[in-house]
C-alpha cells in the first residue's frame, strides 16, 4: 500500500487489512451457512447465533476500540465471527446428520494453510521486489490468483472431480469464444 498511500497510513492500514482478510474468510463461510439455514427453515438457530455474534462484537468493541482504535475494531469483528466454526459443526452433526466431517474439514483447511503459506513466501521473496507502483501491483496481483490455483494443483490438493470440472469449464469457454469470433 505504500505505493499509493502515505507510509504511516499504509503501515496502520496493512495490519487492519490483514485481520480483515481472515475475518472475511469467516464472513464467506457465514454467508453460505446463513443461506443454507434459511433454505432449511432453521431461522431460530440462525437468529440466536447471529444475536450472540452481535453481542460478542459489541462487547469487544467497547473493550478494544478505545484502547486499540481501528485495529481493535478489526479484532473485535474477527473474534465475534468465531462462533461460525461451531455453527458449521452443529449444522453438519445435528441438521445434516453427517459423520466424519471433522477430519475432512481439518484436512481441507490444512491444505489451504499449506498452500497459503507457500504462496505468501513466494509473494514475499519472489514477487514483492517487482512491485514498484500501482500498475505493477495490479498486474502481479491478478497474476497471483492464477499462481495460487496453480500451486494448489502442483501440490496435488485438487480432487479429480474438481479437475474435470475446470477442464469442462475451459472447454465450454473455448467453444463459446471460437463461435463468437467466427
Q: What percent of the chain clears pLDDT 70, i.e. is strictly above it?
A: 96
2 pLDDT higher than 60: no
As for how many domains the chain has, the answer is: 1
pLDDT digits (tens, 9 = 90+) for 92-143: 888 888 888 878 888 988 999 999 999 999 998 999 888 888 898 899 988 9
In a domain, 69, yes or no: yes
In a domain, 54, yes or no: yes
In a domain, 169, yes or no: no
Domain that holds residue 37: 1-99
CA 45 vs. chain centroid, Å, equals 24
In a domain, 7, yes or no: yes
pLDDT digits (tens, 9 = 90+) for 43-56: 999 999 999 999 99
Q: What is the pLDDT of residue 58?
A: 98
Alpha-carbon distances of 15 from 19, 40, 96, rounded to whole Å: 6, 38, 38
In a domain, 176, yes or no: no
In a domain, 105, yes or no: no
In a domain, 125, yes or no: no
Q: Which residues contact 96 (CB under 8 A, 6 or more apart)?
A: none
User: CA quadruple 47, 52, 56, 58: dihedral positive or negative?
Assistant: positive
Continuous H helices in 41-93 = 43-68, 70-80, 83-90
In a domain, 6, yes or no: yes
Amino acid at each position: 500500500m505504500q505505493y499509493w498511500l502515505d507510509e504511516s497510513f499504509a503501515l496502520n492500514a496493512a495490519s487492519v487489512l490483514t485481520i480483515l482478510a481472515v475475518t472475511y474468510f469467516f464472513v464467506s463461510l457465514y454467508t453460505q451457512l446463513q443461506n443454507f439455514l434459511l433454505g432449511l427453515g432453521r431461522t431460530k438457530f440462525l437468529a440466536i447465533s447471529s444475536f450472540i455474534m452481535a453481542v460478542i462484537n459489541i462487547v469487544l468493541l467497547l473493550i478494544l476500540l478505545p484502547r486499540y482504535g481501528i485495529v481493535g475494531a478489526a479484532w473485535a469483528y474477527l473474534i465475534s465471527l468465531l462462533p461460525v466454526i461451531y455453527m458449521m459443526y452443529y449444522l453438519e452433526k445435528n441438521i445434516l446428520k453427517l459423520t466424519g466431517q471433522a477430519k475432512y474439514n481439518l484436512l481441507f483447511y490444512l491444505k489451504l494453510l499449506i498452500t497459503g503459506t507457500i504462496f505468501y513466501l513466494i509473494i514475499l521473496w519472489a514477487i514483492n521486489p517487482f512491485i514498484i507502483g500501482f500498475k505493477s501491483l495490479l498486474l502481479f496481483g491478478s497474476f497471483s490468483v492464477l499462481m495460487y490455483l496453480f500451486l494448489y494443483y502442483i501440490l496435488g490438493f485438487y480432487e479429480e472431480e474438481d479437475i474435470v470440472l475446470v477442464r469442462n469449464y475451459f472447454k465450454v469457454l473455448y467453444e463459446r469464444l471460437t463461435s463468437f469470433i467466427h
